[in-house]
Structure 1
Amino acid sequence: MNISHKTKKLIQSQVQNWSMAAANYAGLKKVKNKSIMLDGAAEIKVQFNPERIRSSAAKVDATSIKERPCFLCEKNRPTEQEGVDLDDYTILINPFPIFTEHLTIPHKQHTLQLIEPYFPAMLKMAKELNQFTLFYNGPKCGASAPDHFHFQAGIKGLMPVEEDFRKASFTQLIEVQNDVKIYNWKGYHRGLITFASVNAEEITSLFEKLHQVLWTNQSEELEPMLNVLAYYENDEYVVHVFPRVLHRPDCYFAEGDKQILISPASVDMGGVFITPRPDDFEKINAADIVDILRQVCLSEKECLKILKKLFNKKN
C-alpha cells in the first residue's frame, strides 16, 4: 500500500472514529463561502470557519509557547489521533480543517519551524501525496506551532493560485535555468515567485539561493519571512514562494468595527481568506483584502528585483 493510499485510509478512519474530527469535518458542509474579485480579475475566496479561531488568534510569542505543551509532539497529541509514518515525519489529520481533506505533517523531532533544511522533503512529499498541495507557514507567517517543524497539506483544487498558474493568467516567465522555469506574477496584488521543473534537485538549489537573497533583507530573523506552496502535477514540481514582510496586518490589532481578525498564512496567500468570526466574513471586501496583502507581502516589483538579483541581471 503506497503512502497516498495509506493517507486516504487514515483520513477515512479518523473521521469515522475520532468524534472531534468527525464533528469538525462535518461542520465544513456548513461553512459559508463567498468569492471576491480584485482589480485585474484575481479571485479571492473567503471562508467563514469558526473552528479556525485557534489558528488565527494563536499566541505565538516566546512566553506563550514556552508555557504550553507542544501539541505536535507525539506525547501530547490526543489519544484518538493516529498517524502514518513517512520517513522523519508523521502524517496526521488536521482536526480543525479548512479543506475536506486536510493534513498536518510534523517532524518526529521537536525542532524549530525553519524551512531550508527540510525543503527537499517537501518536494518528496508533494510527489508522493500528489492529490494534495503541501504548504509551509514560516514562524512569523501563520504557523501556530513555530516551535515544532511541520508542513500541512490540503486536497488540490481549493486555492485559486493553482488554477491561475495552470491558465498562466498572471504569470510572467523570467528565466529558464537548469530545466527550471522561473516566473514572476503581475496584477496579483501580492508578490509571488514560482519555480516549475521535473528536476527536484535543481528546484532545491534555486530555492536555497532565493532563501539566501531574501534573508539578506531580513538578517535579524531566524529565516526570511515566507510562505511556500508545493505540488506535483503533470510530472512536474510546482513551487510558489510568497515573500513576506509582516506577520499580521493593522486590522488584526484594530478595535471595534475596524478590526478584522485575519492572520494570513499559506492558504490566504493562495487565495482563500479564512475568517473565524461571522462579522468579519460579512464585511470584508476587495479593498480590505488588497490592503492586507499590501501590508504583509513583498510587492510584485520587489519580487522582480529579487529575481534579477538572483540571476545577477542589471536590467
Structure 2
Amino acid sequence: MDKLEHLLEEKSSVQIVSDFLNQQLKDWPLAGGNYKGLEHLEEKEFQFDGFTIKVQFNPERIRSSTAKVDAKSIQERACFLCLENLPAEQKGIAQGDDFVILVNPFPIIPQHFTIPKKAHVDQAFAENISGMLSLAKSLEGYTLFYNGPKCGASAPDHMHFQAGNKNFMPVDSEYAVLKKSQSELLSDSSKVEMRAFSNYLRKMISIESENQEDMLRAVSIFYSCFAKMQPEEKEPMLNAICSFVEGKYIMHLFPRKLHRPSQYFAKGDDQLLISPASVDFGGVFITPRREDFEKITSDDIVDIFKQVSVDDEFFRKLCASLKENRI
C-alpha cells in the first residue's frame, strides 16, 4: 500500500491524474521513453459511411497484441497488475476501496491509465459494472474501457479497466451524430435511452442515462440477454467503452463472437497481427508491425470486424430481446 497516493479532494480528477502522469514520466524512464515515442507515431485514416477508422503504428504494443492468454501461460507468469509485482518506479492513486489508477507504460493514448482492482480476481464485467460507472463519473474528461477475458484483455486473470483522453477514439465524437441517422431506438423511457447500431462495421449497443442506478439496471439487462445467447461462454464476449459527459453516463457495448480474426493466424504476407480490443472497436486499429500498418486496407478492416463481431441475425435477436426486457 506504500505505492499508493490518495486523491486530493481539492483538485479536479483531470488535474490529479494529469499531474500524476507527468510525475511518473519524470521518475520512470521506461514510461517516459514510451510516452515520448507517442509524439512520433504514424497514423492514417479510412473513411466509411459517415465515420472514420484510424490505424496507428505502435511497435511497443506488440506485447499486448501477441499476449498468450491460455491458462498455462497465465499460471506460469507473475501477475503484472498485482501491487506487490509492480516495478519499483510505478506508483498508483487509490480510487475508492477497490481500484488503483496506474500509468500504462506501453501507451496507445497520450494519457493512458490502467485501473486494476487491488484484489487479484478474474476479469469480469457483470460484477464490476457499478465500479465502471463510478470510475467514469470520478474521471470525467476521460473515457474508460473494458476488454473481456477473450476480447483483448492481456491480463484476464486480474480485473481491470483502462482509461484515456476523451475523443481519442472516434466513437466518442461520432456517437451523437450517428445516433440520429444510423441507429435503432430500443428503449426511450424517462430514465434510459438505448440504441442499436447495426451498420457501424461492428455491432454496437449504446446506453445513456443521468442516473447511475438506472444505468446499472439497463446495462445489466443487456448483459443478461446477451449471456443467454452465448451459454457456452463463462462471460459473454464483449468490449465496453464508458464515459460521463455533461451529467450523463454513456456506455457503448460491442457484442462479439471471436477473439482474433483469421488474419492473425495467417502465414507470410497474408498475416495481419491485429488482435481487436476496445480501442479498435472504438475506431483506432493498433498495428504493432510496420508491414501491417502499410498494407492494411479498408477491406481488411471490414473483414476483421465481420469476423469478430456477432452476425446480423444474432444481433437482430439480441435487439428483440432487449426491447422485450427494456427498463
Please, what TM-score do these two structures have when normalized by structure 2?
0.92
Q: Aligned Cα RMSD in Å?
A: 1.3
Q: Secondary structure at the match of 1:262?
A: coil
Q: Which runs of 5+ in 1 are unaligned?
A: none
Distance 2:215 2:312 in 1: 21
- The alignment status of 1:64 with 2:76, answered yes or no, reads no
Distance 1:312 1:83 in 2: 43
Please, what TM-score do these two structures have when normalized by structure 1?
0.96
Q: Secondary structure at the match of 1:33?
A: strand
Give runs of aligned pairs for residues 185-264 of structure 1, distance below 5 A: 185-264=197-276
- 1:218 counterpart letter in structure 2: Q
Which residue of the partner structure matches residue 33 of structure 1? 43
Q: Secondary structure at the match of 1:85?
A: strand
Which residue of the partner structure matches residue 116 of structure 1? 126
Checking the alignment, whether the CA contact within 8 Å between 1:4 and 1:128 is kept in structure 2 is no
Q: 1:308 to 1:244 in 2, by over 3 A?
A: same
Q: Secondary structure at the match of 1:121?
A: helix
Which residue of the partner structure matches residue 285 of structure 1? 297
Distance 2:297 2:188 in 1: 37
Distance 1:247 1:140 in 2: 6
Paired residue total: 312
Distance 2:88 2:245 in 1: 35
Percent identity for Structure 1 against Structure 2: 47
Checking the alignment, whether the CA contact within 8 Å between 1:112 and 1:147 is kept in structure 2 is yes
- The alignment status of 1:47 with 2:56, answered yes or no, reads yes
Q: Secondary structure at the match of 2:202?
A: coil
Q: Secondary structure at the match of 1:97?
A: coil
Q: 1:198 to 1:301 in 2, by over 3 A?
A: farther
Checking the alignment, whether the CA contact within 8 Å between 1:193 and 1:303 is kept in structure 2 is no
Which residue of the partner structure matches residue 5 of structure 2? none
Checking the alignment, whether the CA contact within 8 Å between 1:244 and 1:296 is kept in structure 2 is yes
Deviation of 1:300 after TM superposition, in Å, equals 5.2
Q: Which runs of 5+ in 2 are unaligned?
A: 1-7
Deviation of 1:171 after TM superposition, in Å, equals 3.0
- The alignment status of 1:306 with 2:315, answered yes or no, reads no
* Per-residue deviation, residues 26-69 of structure 1 (Å, max 9, x unmatched): 0001110000123x233100000000000000000000000000
Deviation of 1:178 after TM superposition, in Å, equals 4.9
Distance 1:310 1:238 in 2: 17
Distance 1:239 1:300 in 2: 21
Distance 2:93 2:312 in 1: 39
* Per-residue deviation, residues 74-130 of structure 1 (Å, max 9, x unmatched): 111111000000111100000000000000000000000011111111011111111
Which residue of the partner structure matches residue 21 of structure 1? 31
Distance 1:4 1:131 in 2: 7
Which residue of the partner structure matches residue 12 of structure 1? 22
